Amino acid sequence: MLFTVPPLAGHVNPTVAVGAELAARGHEIAWTGPPSALARLLPAQARILPAGEELGAGGYAALHESWRDLRGVGALRFLWEEALVPLARAMVPGVARAVRAFGPDVLVADQQALAGPLVARRLGVPWVTSASTSAELTRPFADFPKVGEWVAGQIAGLLAEFGAGRDRVRDPGSGAGWDPRFSERLVLVFSTPELVGSGADFPPHYAFVGPAFGARPAAPGFPWQRLDPARRRVLVSLGTLNQAAGARFYGAVLGAAERLAEQVQFVLAAPAALIGAVPDHVLLQESVPQLELLPHLDAVVCHAGHNTVCEALAHGLPLVVAPIRDDQPIVARQVALAGAGVRVRFGRTRAEELRDALTAVLDDPGPRRAARRIQASFAAAGGAAAAADRLEKLL
């Protein structure tokens, strides 16, 4: 099995868990993608076959600097024009070399690693999709057809550039043409209908396996002794890529923390340079061991990143979600419609609004019941073992 992934932790993490499960069953596993990034994200013993590297002047750091303040359609255009399409171009030669050298029986391609399906189709290798976020599965542009057409045009241009034809799927599962984001053999969805929404009609080769949690790089030491058993505990995290854009939001967090000082301890994962001095009931850390910390919490405030949302819900924790860009508004809508949390405005949230949202998820039993319902669905879906089962059926 060859996993083709972009250099993004949220997209690599599920493959780590699935890869470990497959390796334990005796399968040979490798990853292909930008090697320096993958070396930081994968276990030390992982086999990495290089495909693509830094993009343009300054590489991924420069891309992030340009992207972090974008919102809405501007962020979407940047994602496709400056990241996904150039990444596919950069990765195609290396993915082709990896396929020829490794000889995979199945290639597992992340939705945003479009080079994988391009190469697999050219070389006749069966390929499946790793859907590390469910946003694209739910027809996100149904209400914005011009945006959907533009995205389809970006995909069509990429296919034509590599001789893969202009025929593509506009709606997943429609049966017409092909789309490198959605395999016609198997789509591994790391979520469940209880979160995505049970109203959509998905084809049988869409396997909802729930989140798959693998080993993570060791986090710096965490002051566990400072967790206060007399207060309810809330994690605030905007993920590693969004922290620098969060200065205003962090101000609202500190205001809400002041108003809830007697009842709630805040664990704030953020750069100290952006925050400054904090009161004793706010535990400020540059980074936290999130999976290990979640069992000790009562709620999570986040940017509606798919991984953080699923990790919180896997522990039955209700959420306050403040989406910023990309798939986050869609994931936030899923959380709200499922009843498992409250959505607030990232750019305009005031301390009072955030306090009220937190009070709602902490005091109202409804969000916690909904979170536990989704937690049960995740456990029943099977995670990495279920994903490995589905992959083995293709052999």
Query: Of all residues in the chain, what percent carry a pLDDT higher than 70?
Result: 87
pLDDT band, residue 245 (cuts 50/70/90): low
Q: 321, 302 in Cβ contact below 8 A?
A: yes
pTM for the model? 0.89
In angstroms, the CA 189 to CA 14 distance is: 10
Q: 23, 393 in Cβ contact below 8 A?
A: no
Query: String of b and e for 204-222 (b: at least 16 CB within 10 Å)?
Result: ebbbbbbbbbbeeeeeeeb
Residue 169, pLDDT score: 47
Highest mean pLDDT among 81-95, 152-166, 240-254, 377-391: 377-391
pLDDT band, residue 175 (cuts 50/70/90): very low
List the strands of the sheet with 319-321, edge to edge. Answer: 282-285, 264-269, 232-237, 299-302, 319-321, 341-343
Picking from 106, 140, 114, the residue whose alpha carbon sits closest to that of residue 387 is 106
* Domains identified in the chain and CATH numbers: 2-185 (3.40.50.2000), 224-379 (3.40.50.2000)
pLDDT band, residue 28 (cuts 50/70/90): very high
In angstroms, the CA 384 to CA 188 distance is: 10
Q: Which amino acid belongs to residue 333?
A: R
In angstroms, the CA 111 to CA 1 distance is: 16
